[in-house]
Amino acid sequence: MSEGASDDVNVHNSGKRTEECRRMVDHALTRNPVVKFMVEKLEEAGCPVGERFFSLESCSEEVGGGFRVPDGVIVCSNHLSAQEEVSHVLTHELIHAYDHCRGADLDWTNCEHHACSEVRAASLSGDCHFKQELLRGNTGFRGQHQRCVRRRAELSVGMNDYCKGPGCAKRAVDNVFDRCFADTAPFDRIP
């Protein structure tokens, strides 16, 4: 989390925080080109998202957001304080929504299914852009993007109740990595 993101520890989030976050979500949906692109592609894929698809919550886990069936995208207003963070979380979660939309048999309790979507979300959402990695103190160059994607995907899969066994998340990511990393839809290539 960024500095200043944790000053509000009250889980009964202040109304002001929620309001600001709502404004940043609206801003991303109307202005951020990647977020707009994802919303457009979801519509084209037959899964239009309305405003109610995005809800703000106070999250207890250390995450910026989530995707939940059938509610949609959750934005953790207690963990986000900057526009850039909100846009980034929306992009990541919309990739999960896209995978859910196009994958009729996608089962989020199946660790490999989940891992595939996390690999794609980490790779395509900018989670592993150089600047994000610098902020985390990871400064290698060669292969850094793929290493980062694996690490981020394992972390996320490891939070799935069905994938908490020892080595389970890592195994799931390893098994699907090549195939899912290569699948950049709806982008032509890694943006």
- Cβ proximity to Zn ion: between 77 and 156 the closer is 156
Could you confirm whether 93 is annotated as catalytic?
yes
CA dist 117 and 59 (Å) reads 21
| Minimum distance of Zn ion from residue 153's CB (angstroms) | 8
CA dist 102 and 117 (Å) reads 12
The piece of 121-129, 141-149, 166-174, 179-187 that touches Zn ion (CB under 5 A) is: 121-129
- Applying CB under 5 A, among 121, 128, 163, 176 the residue interacting with Zn ion is 121
Residue of 57, 85, 93, 118 with catalytic role: 93
User: Which whole-number Å values give the CA distances from 41 to 48, 130, 134, 187, in the listed order?
Assistant: 9, 26, 30, 9
Q: What is the DSSP string of 98-115?
A: HHHHH-TT--TTSHHHHH
| Tokens linked to 6 | 């944790």
CA dist 142 and 41 (Å) reads 32
The piece of 21-29, 43-51, 140-148, 150-158 that touches Zn ion (CB under 5 A) is: 150-158
160 counts as binding Zn ion under rule CB under 5 A:
no
CA dist 48 and 39 (Å) reads 7
Of 88, 147, 155, whose CA–CA distance to 118 is shortest?
Answer: 155
| Minimum distance of Zn ion from residue 76's CB (angstroms) | 13
- Cβ proximity to Zn ion: between 118 and 133 the closer is 118
| Minimum distance of Zn ion from residue 101's CB (angstroms) | 15
The piece of 10-18, 55-63, 111-119, 133-141 that touches Zn ion (CB under 5 A) is: 111-119
- Applying CB under 5 A, among 116, 156, 169, 180 the residue interacting with Zn ion is 156
Binding site for Zn ion (CB under 5 A): 118, 121, 156
Catalytic site positions: 93
